[in-house]
């Protein structure tokens, strides 16, 4: 039986890349906020709840800007690595 640390060590890149765990976590959270903010924001607008809809769409846009800024800083090639 293999322990979790041995299993993780076997799958980690050996070239030192991919160590942006915190940045990846931030992008993942921002991606979830972007998708759900857009989804519920559009839903609120369709149900004629203008203020909550606009606020959720604004939050979604901010999350998209966070992802764009981070990937522009780290490089867009990190998405496919």
pLDDT at 18: 55
Q: Are 30 and 49 in contact (CB under 8 A)?
A: no
pLDDT of residue 43: 97
Q: Which residues of the chain have pLDDT under 50?
A: none
Instruction: Check residue 19 and give its pLDDT.
Output: 62
Q: Please report, for the chain, the start and end positions of each structural domain, with discontinuous segments joined by +.
A: 19-79
DSSP class of residue 79? G
For residue 12, what pLDDT is reported? 54
Give alpha helix (H) positions in the chain: 4-11, 21-46, 50-74
pLDDT recorded at residue 10: 64
Is residue 61 within 8 Å of residue 72, measured between CB atoms? no
First to last CA, the chain: 29
């Amino acid at each position: 039986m293999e322990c979790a640390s041995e299993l993780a060590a076997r799958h980690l890149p050996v070239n030192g890349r991919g160590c942006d765990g915190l940045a990846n976590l931030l992008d993942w959270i921002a991606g979830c906020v972007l998708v759900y903010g857009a989804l519920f924001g559009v839903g609120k607008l369709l149900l004629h709840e203008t203020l909550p809809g606009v606020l959720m769409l604004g939050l979604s846009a901010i999350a998209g800007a966070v992802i764009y800024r981070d990937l522009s800083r780290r490089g867009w090639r990190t998405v496919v690595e």
